[in-house]
Amino acid sequence: MYGTYLRLHISVHDGWRAVVRAAARKLAPLTRRDPRQRAARHRFYREKLAYHRPAQEIVWTWRL
């Protein structure tokens, strides 16, 4: 799933909303609307955010 995060084409400087919006665009329209898939969508978004946060911390630490 890290590959999916890389294909979001977002900058490390983008906030969490940009990550969620980009991830939502990767989902099929029916998946985005289906209430039964809500938990799976949230897991998907949280996983992308879990990859984004360490990348941001590296940039902040090394001031890249």
Domain that holds residue 38: 2-62
Cα(56)–Cα(64) distance, rounded to whole angstroms? 10
- The mean per-residue pLDDT over the stretch 17-44 comes to 97
Q: Please count the structural domains in the chain.
A: 1
pTM as predicted: 0.89
* DSSP secondary structure, 32-55, as one string: HH-GGGHHHHHHHHHHHHHHHHHH
Round the average pLDDT of the chain to a whole number and report it. Answer: 96
Single-letter residue type at 40? A
37: pLDDT strictly greater than 80: yes
CA atoms within 13 A on the CB side of 15: 1
8: pLDDT strictly greater than 90: yes
Q: How confident is the model at residue 63 (pLDDT cuts 50, 70, 90)?
A: confident
Q: How confident is the model at residue 64 (pLDDT cuts 50, 70, 90)?
A: confident
53 burial type by CB count under 10 A (0-12 exposed, 13-18 middle, 19+ buried): exposed
